[in-house]
Chains A and B, each alone.
Chain A
Amino acid sequence: MQEPQITQDLIAAHGLKPDEYARILEIIGREPTFTELGIFSAMWNEHCSYKSSKKWLRTLHTTGERVICGPGENAGVVDIGDGQAVVFKMESHNHPSYIEPHQGAATGVGGILRDVFTMGARPIAAMDALSFGLPGHEKTTHLVKGVVEGIGSYGNCFGVPNVGGEVRFHRSYNGNCLVNAFAAGLAETDKIFYSAASGVGMPVVYLGAKTGRDGVGGATMASAEFDDTIEEKRPTVQVGDPFTEKCLLEACLELMDSGSVISIQDMGAAGLTCSAVEMGDKGGLGIRLNLDAVPQREANMTAYEMMLSESQERMLMVLKPEKEAEARAIFEKWDLDFAIVGETIPEDRFLIVHGNTVKADLPLSKLASSAPEYDRPWVETPAAAPLGALPEIAPIAGLMALIGSPNHAHKAWVWEQYDTQVMADTLRRPGLGAGIVRVHGTEKALAFTSDVTPRYVRANPYEGGKQAVAEAWRNLCAVGAEPLAATDNLNFGNPEKPEIMGQFVGAIKGIGEACRALDFPVVSGNVSLYNETDGKGILPTPTIGAVGLLRTADEIIGGLAAEGDAAVLIGTRGTHLGQSALIAEAFGMEDGDAPAVDLERERRHGEFLRAQRAHLRGATDLSEGGLALAAFEMAEASGVGVTLDDSDIAALFGEDQARYLVAASPADAEALVAAGKAAGVPVSIIGRFGGDAISLGGDAAPLTELSKVFRSAFAQALGL
C-alpha cells in the first residue's frame, strides 16, 4: 500500500511542532516515511517523552537504603526484607476515561497491572484515585458509573484486591476527569525482570493478545487538550480484556520461573514502538522487527497501524534462544499468542520490515534519547490572600455540610463494586484509612494509601506538594506501618502556560522537599499534562501513592473506638481554615492559603504514634475536615457516639498538619499524655467515645441520623 505524503498538516496532526519536525530531519538527514513519522510522534509526545517535565523530575528524591529500582523502569522496586520486594507504580488514564469511561478506566487498570507483573511481581493490591466534575454536571454521573464499573470489571476479573483510593468532585474536572490507577506486586529480590535487552541475535518475542487497530495514536491523543471534537476521538481508546491479562500474568510468571527471559517490556502507550525502542536503547542494541510475523486481529493492517496500535494485553520479550520450545509450550498452555517477530542487532538501528519492504530505518538510540526536552517558562504562583472573615456556622451544621457532600460522604457505592478481598490476604478493606494486605505466607503486611488535596496545591503549590506527601506518610503511620516509598502521578494543565508550569514546578519542589525530609523516596511515577478543556485547566492534582511495611500483623493499629474510650489528639489544636473542606462545602469558598507543613514535626508525631501503639485502640490521621470529620468517621465506623469538648470552629474543622486522632482506654490515654510530655509531642485528651450522639462543643445530633446522611449522600448527589 502507498503511504501518504508527508505534509505540514500531517505533521501537525501527529502533534509534532515545526521545530520538532526540523529536529527529525536533522537526525535522519532525509524526509521520514509515514511509518517513521508515526514512530517519532509516538516517542516524542509528552506522554512518552516527559519532555516538559524531565528537567524537574530529576530533582526528586529517588534513592534510599531499601530502593532496589527507582524511576525509569516499568515500576519502582523496594526491599521489604527476607529476599522479597514490593513493586509499584501509579499511572493516569485521564483522557481515555473521559472519552469512553468504562474502557478508558479498565485499560488504565490493565496497564498498571502489566507494568507491575512485567517486572516479575504478582500484583497483590490496587487503588484508584478519581477526580470528577461537579455532581450536577451533565457528564458526571455517566463518568462515575462508567469509570467505577470499568475499574471493577478489569480488576475483579484479573483478581487483584482493590484496597483504597480517593474520589473527589470539583468543577475544574467538569471537562477532564482524572483516573489514576495504582498497582503493587510482590517479587523475589533476585528475580526482578528489567527491560534492557542483551546479546546480539537474540529472538524478540511477541506475547499475549493479537494486534488490532484499537488505540492507534492513543498516546498522542493523551497529550492533547480537549475541545469540541472530542467525540471523534473515541476510536483511539483501547478495549481491554482482563481475562487475557490474567492468562498473560500466569504465563509470564511461569515463563520467568523457567529462566527463559533475558528482558521483558509490556506494550503500553505507543505499543510495539515504545516497547521495542525501550528494550534496545537500554541494552545499547538495535532491533529488527518483521511485522509479517506479528499476530494480527484484523486484515490488511499497515506497518504504521501495527507500530502505533495500543491493543491491550501484549508483551515483548527477548528470549534465550535455547529456551524457545519451553517458552512456546507455556504460552500454548494458556492459549496465548507467541511469535518470534524480530531479533536484536549490533548496529544502532530500529529496522521495521513489512511485506519485504523496509518501512522504517531509524537510529534507535536517537529515538529514545533525542526526544526534545523543554525548560518551559514558568512563573511562581502568587501568594494567596489571607483568609477573610467567615460566616457563622454551628458545629453540627458544619459537619452536616461535609458528610452530606459526595466529597466526604461514605463511598461504599464505589468500593463495593471492587473485589476488595480476592487473594484472601486483605487485612483492611477501603473505608478506614490505609488499606492493608498480608504478604502471602508470611507474618508481614503492606499498607497502601493515595493522597492529595488539590485546593491546597492551587493556592500554594509548594506547601500543597509537601502536604500530599506528608498526608500519605501520615496515613501509613496511622495504621502502624513504617512508610517505605512513594509513587507520584502528576496531573496538571497545559505546561505551555507559564502559570500552569509554575504550579508544576512548585509542587515538584514541595514533593521533593517532603520526600527528602521524611526519607520517603519516589520510586516511580507518571506525568499527565494538558488536562484542560477549552483552555481551562484542572486543579493541580499531584496524587501521591505510597506503601508502608508492617513486620508482623500485630503491628497494625486498628481504626475503631470502643464505648468509654478517651478521644486523644496528637498534635496541636486546630487553627487553619484556609482552603479547608469546611469553607468549601459550607460556604462555597476556596480562599486563603494552604496549611503549612512542618516536616520535622510530621516525622516526630508519626514516629511517636507508632512507638505508642500498645496504648492505642484505634487511630486515624487528620486531614480534610479536621478533627470533627475524623472523630465522626471513627465513631460512625465503630457504631458509638463521640463527644468533643472544644466548640471553636477552627479547633474542630481546622486542617493544621501533623495530627492524629486516637481512641484509647482512659488509663492508656493518661499514659499517652505522659509519653507525649516526655517526647515533646503535644498530646491532649479532647473528648470521649460512647453514647449514641455526636456532640461537638455542646452542639449534638443523634449518630443514627448523621450516619444515614453520611451513607446516602454519595448516591443521592449523583442520582445513582
Chain B
Amino acid sequence: MKAAVITFPGSNCDRDLACAFAEMGAEVTRVWHKDDALPAGTDIVAVPGGFSYGDYLRCGAIAARSPVAAALRAHAARGGLVLGVCNGFQILTELGLLPGALMRNAALRYICRPERLIVASTDSPFTAGYALGDAVTFPIAHHDGNYVIDAEGLARLKAEGRIAFRYATNPNGSVDDIAGVLSENRRVLGMMPHPERAMGMTGAQESADGSAFFRALCAAMTAA
C-alpha cells in the first residue's frame, strides 16, 4: 500500500501525516509541490494541513494551481484515493475535487482543541471501520474551517450520504455541523479535524481515535 504525501511551501502537517501512514504499515513517499508526477503505484495521495503559500490570496487557492495539481486531479479522476486534512481540505475544495468552501470561523478566531465528531457515513474506505453514529475525538486547529455549501449542494450531500463526519458541538459555524465530506465516488475525503494528531502516544492525555482511522483506511486499501 503506497501513500504519497504532498508538501507545499507552508505545509506543516506533512510529516505528521506521513508518520501516521507509516505507523499503519504504508509505504510513504514525500512529493514536492513542483513535481509534476506522483510516484508510480500510488494508492492514496494525502494533502496535509498547514498554511500552503502562507494562506495568501485565499486558503488553498495558490496550492490548487501549483505544478503537482494536475497529477493530483488525474489521480482522482482515475478513482484513486485522496485524503485532505485541514488546509488539505481547503485545497481539495479549491481544486474542485470536493464541493463547498471553507470560510472564516464564525467567532473569527483561530481555534485549536480536541473536538468530538460523529461518524455520519460508513460507506467509504476512510470510514468503513466505524459504525454509523460512532463518536471519535480529533483535534481541530484552524482559522477557516466554517464549511459552506448552497442549499442544493447540501441536499445532494445528504441524499447521497456524503457527509463523513459531523461535529458533536459545532465549533466554527459549519453548515449542518459538517466536519468532513466525501466526493461523489466516495474516494476523496476532505476534513478539517486532524486524525494524525490523535495516534494514542504513550503518556498523552489525548485521544487515540486517529490510529483507528488510519488502521481502517490502510486495511481497506490492502483489501482492495
Contacts and interface: CB of A to CB of B under 8 A. Distances in A.
Same complex: yes
Contacts of A422: 12-13, 16, 49, 141, 197
Nearest to B20: A424
B203 A243 contact: no
Given A422-B16, A426-B204, A427-B204, A156 B110 contact: yes
Contact of A424 (B16, B113, B143): B16
A423 B15 contact: yes
Contacts of A428: 204-205
Contact of B10 (A149, A243, A426): A243
Given A243-B56, A247-B10, A416 B204 contact: no
B17 to A, nearest CB: 9
A144 to B, nearest CB: 12
Contacts of A421: 112, 139, 141, 194, 197, 206
Nearest to A443: B202
Contacts of A553: 201-204
Interface string A330-373: 00011100000000000000000000000000000000000000
B139 A247 contact: no
B113 A416 contact: yes
Given A334-B9, A417-B109, A424-B16, A554 B51 contact: no
Interface string A420-458: 111111111100100010100001010000000000000
Interface string A393-419: 000000000000000000010011111
A593 interface: no
B43 interface: no
B111 interface: yes
A429 B203 CA distance: 12
A382 B40 CA distance: 76
A416 B205 contact: no
Contacts, number: 112
Contacts of A419: 110, 112, 141
Nearest to A157: B51
A425 B20 CA distance: 12
Nearest to B32: A333
A423 B16 contact: yes
Contact of B196 (A246, A412, A418, A424): A424
Given A417-B109, A419-B141, A424 B197 contact: yes
A357 B66 CA distance: 43
Contacts of A247: 9-10
B203 A445 contact: yes
B72 to A, nearest CB: 20
Contact of A416 (B32, B51, B55, B111): B111
Size category of the binding interface on chain A: 35 or more
Contacts of B139: 421
Interface residues of B, number: 35
Nearest to B54: A243
Contacts of A158: 12
Contacts of B13: 159, 422, 424
A185 interface: no
A537 interface: no
Nearest to A335: B9
A352 B186 CA distance: 63
A246 B111 CA distance: 21
Contacts of B196: 424
A421 B143 CA distance: 15
Contacts of B54: 157, 241-244
Contacts of B10: 157, 243, 246-247
A430 to B, nearest CB: 10
Contacts of A560: 205
B221 interface: no
Contacts of A425: 201
B199 interface: yes
Contacts of A246: 9-10, 12, 51
A556 B143 CA distance: 32
B50 interface: yes
B157 interface: no
Given A246-B12, A421-B141, A422-B16, A558 B194 contact: no
Contacts of A445: 203
A306 to B, nearest CB: 25
A157 B199 contact: no
B112 A438 contact: no
A80 B50 CA distance: 29
A243 B15 contact: no
A152 interface: yes
Contacts of B109: 149, 416-417
A242 B54 CA distance: 7
B219 interface: no
B203 A436 contact: yes
B23 to A, nearest CB: 10
Interface string B104-115: 000001111100
Contacts of B110: 149, 152-153, 156, 416-419
Interface in B79-134: 109-113
A425 B12 CA distance: 13
A419 B63 CA distance: 22
Given A243-B55, A246-B12, A420-B112, 20 more contacts: A149-B109, A156-B51, A156-B141, A159-B51, A242-B51, A243-B53, A243-B54, A243-B56, A247-B9, A334-B9, A416-B111, A417-B109, A421-B141, A421-B197, A424-B194, A426-B204, A427-B204, A429-B206, A550-B203, A560-B205
5 contacts: A157-B55, A333-B34, A417-B110, A424-B194, A554-B203
